[in-house]
């Protein structure tokens, strides 16, 4: 049997260090928000023949007086141009400047007010999800109180603390990507964030359900720590194999999929790894720590 609970201090130290680094980098550098959150314009252009050098395209954009624009190559023939909000007359001049050998595939313009509202909505949605997770998990495990080991609320709180751990690590990774490589977060990142929450909760509840099942079979003098240790060991192979198959699929999409979903897939991979880790090494040890504290 692996000492997964007995080494909980090691996991707490490791996770605490990662979360601390994520928080420091977030408050120092912050996330690099895309046009979805800051407002601005996004132009997707497809060259039918050969695409000019990116530096040449960038010079054409700057010659029109568009400041702060980024030109990102996509595949062999497409480009993304992200810039502050572009008015329609400037939009038409930009298309003429890019030439007649291609066509515009998409042009989206988002005002700064809409971008700020989207940021608030994302924050509210995350808080609402976390609140309902606590309520649901506490309700689902309401009958464990009769075994006298730990209250149902502890399961809900431990689940949310594990989720906060997952969110912090995912955000920290994208803070570093944004600071060093200019990777922006947009609405697909929010979708990946919420997907991570759902995946992590599902994995954690599987472990907690096994703890509840073993509580019903436990001997009167058997400690909660030993029950949790046995339960985690019984589910660890299932958790790792499920996550591994999901990550293999996502890696294939990351390597061979389109540029537009690459960082969305990367966010899912980071979220699944963090969620699998937290359900095994954080959530259950937190329950054991809670039970020991209540017995002092």
- pTM of this prediction? 0.83
pLDDT at site 112: 66
Helix/strand/coil (H/E/C) assignment for every residue in 103-135: EEEEEEEECHHHHHHHHHHHHHHHHHHHHHHHH
In tens, the pLDDT along 131-160 reads 888 888 888 888 776 566 677 888 888 999
CATH number of 40-109: 3.30.70.3400
Confidence of residue 183 (pLDDT cuts 50, 70, 90): confident
Residue 20: Cβ within 10 Å count: 12
CATH 3.30.70.3400 domain locations along the chain: 40-109
Indicate the fold that domain 8-35+113-294 takes in CATH.
Answer: Multidrug efflux transporter AcrB transmembrane fold (1.20.1640)
Helix (H) or strand (E) holding 223: none
In tens, the pLDDT along 83-137 reads 888 888 999 989 988 887 788 988 887 776 666 777 788 888 888 888 888 888 8
CATH 1.20.1640.10 domain locations along the chain: 8-35+113-294
pLDDT at site 26: 95
The mean per-residue pLDDT over the stretch 163-179 comes to 94
The mean per-residue pLDDT over the stretch 25-47 comes to 87
């Amino acid at each position: 049997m692996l000492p997964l609970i007995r080494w909980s201090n090691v996991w707490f130290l490791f996770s605490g260090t990662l979360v601390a680094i994520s928080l420091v980098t977030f408050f120092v550098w912050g996330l690099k928000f895309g046009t979805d959150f800051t407002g601005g314009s996004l132009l997707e252009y497809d060259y039918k023949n050969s695409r000019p050098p990116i530096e040449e395209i960038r010079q054409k954009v700057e010659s029109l007086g568009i400041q702060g624009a980024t030109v990102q190559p996509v595949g062999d023939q497409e480009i993304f141009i992200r810039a502050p909000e572009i008015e329609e007359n400037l939009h038409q001049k930009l298309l003429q400047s890019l030439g007649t050998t291609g066509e515009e595939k998409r042009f989206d313009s988002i005002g700064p007010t809409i971008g700020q509202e989207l940021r608030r909505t994302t924050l509210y949605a995350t808080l609402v999800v976390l609140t309902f997770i606590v309520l649901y998990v506490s309700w689902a495990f309401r009958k464990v109180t009769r075994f006298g080991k730990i209250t149902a609320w502890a399961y809900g709180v431990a689940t949310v603390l594990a989720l906060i751990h997952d969110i912090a690590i995912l955000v920290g990774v994208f803070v570093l990507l944004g600071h060093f490589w200019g990777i922006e977060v947009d609405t697909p990142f929010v979708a990946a964030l919420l997907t991570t929450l759902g995946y992590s909760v599902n994995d954690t509840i599987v472990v907690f359900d096994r703890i509840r099942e073993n509580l019903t079979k436990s001997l009167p003098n058997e400690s909660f720590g030993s029950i949790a240790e046995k339960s985690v060991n019984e589910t660890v192979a299932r958790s790792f194999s499920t996550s591994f198959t999901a990550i293999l699929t996502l890696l294939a999409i990351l390597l061979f999929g389109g540029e537009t979903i690459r960082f969305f897939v990367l966010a899912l991979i980071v979220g699944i790894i963090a969620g699998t880790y937290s359900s095994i090494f954080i959530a259950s040890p937190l329950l054991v720590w809670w039970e020991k504290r209540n017995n002092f």
